[in-house]
Structure 1
Amino acid sequence: MATIIRNEVFSCFVFYGVLLVLKMYIIAIITGQVRLRKKAFANPEDALRHGGLQFHREDPYVERCRRAHINDMENILPFLFLGAIYSLTGPSLVVARLHFLVFFLARLLHSVAYLLALKAPTRSLAYTVAQIPCISMALQILMAVAAYA
């Protein structure tokens, strides 16, 4: 393990990867708190525990928070795979850090835009910007392994 952590690019990736996972947990906690505040429960047993079956219902803001969380899973999980493999291809630390930082900041902005329902095109622009480092890493990974395929 100590050898892997000595890899500066991988350590940088781990730093941003952990921040992204923590952000996902925060979005999940926000979703749960909004669910409690709005009394809008997805499961009947939860509704019963919090006042009755009338609270087994959907709420637009709870659904917005839930979609933000799902969107994180759809985008951050592939980034974690790509970033880990990319880190092992021997990229420049400066370039790798830029990839990881751009993705992190764009996903952070995307979540804020989603939760606050900011006007277009903030959320879609943040999504698009976050895809650029992912596509770049994927292409660099493919070029690195093409000779072995």
Structure 2
Amino acid sequence: MLENEAFSCFVFYSVLLVIKMYIIAIITGQVRLRKKAFANPEDAQRHGGVQYYREDPDVERCRRAHRNDMENIFPFLFLGAVYSLIGPSLAVARAHFLVFFLFRVLHTVAYLCVLRAPTRSLAYVVAQVPCVSMAVQVLAALASSW
């Protein structure tokens, strides 16, 4: 399967995206500890008392960034895998995967660093372009095979 160069390229960028999601999870945990804002009473009790069983705007921002990744990266994983199996040009496939990866990273930076609008929104939209393109190409390949 890794002999398919487009699929190998897809796997590379997919692993980077999953690592990025793990990093956001770690950042969220670190912000929770720094801000003493825990989601569970037992965690709050362990770190100073039940008064720290609370929400914090910075923790919630991290959580929203992570949730947004799940809403966008999981579909990319499906679309990219199927797309890479329909035999796309390696250069075109690489461009799709790279654009998605770079703009998801920019989206995360814009979210976590509170960059000025519309940076985050533009990053989101640009990252959707390769996903829509892959979906259309997969559907076209399926339609031509019927």
Partner of 1:13: 10
Specify which of 54, 58, 82 is matched with residue 79 of structure 2. Answer: 82
1:92-111 equivalences under 5 Å are 92-111=89-108
* Counterparts of 2:32 and 2:78, CA distance in 1: 31
Cα shift readout 1:106-139 (whole Å, capped 9, x = no counterpart): 0000000000010101000000000000000000
User: TM-score normalized by structure 1?
Assistant: 0.96
AA aligned opposite 2:66: H
Deviation >4 Å, runs of 4+: none
* Counterparts of 2:123 and 2:144, CA distance in 1: 34
* Counterparts of 1:34 and 1:9, CA distance in 2: 37
Segments of 5+ residues of structure 2 without an aligned counterpart are none
Partner of 2:33: 36
* Counterparts of 1:34 and 1:24, CA distance in 2: 15
AA aligned opposite 1:124: S
User: TM-score normalized by structure 2?
Assistant: 0.98
Specify which of 32, 55, 58 is matched with residue 58 of structure 1. Answer: 55
3-state SS of paired residue (1:5)? coil
3-state SS of paired residue (2:2)? helix
* Counterparts of 1:25 and 1:46, CA distance in 2: 20
Give the root-mean-square deviation of aligned CA atoms. Answer: 0.8
Instruction: Answer yes or no: is 1:139 the counterpart of 2:116.
Output: no
Specify which of 101, 114, 121 is matched with residue 118 of structure 2. Answer: 121
* Counterparts of 2:36 and 2:119, CA distance in 1: 29
* Counterparts of 1:148 and 1:37, CA distance in 2: 55
Number of residue pairs aligned between Structure 1 and Structure 2? 146
Partner of 1:27: 24
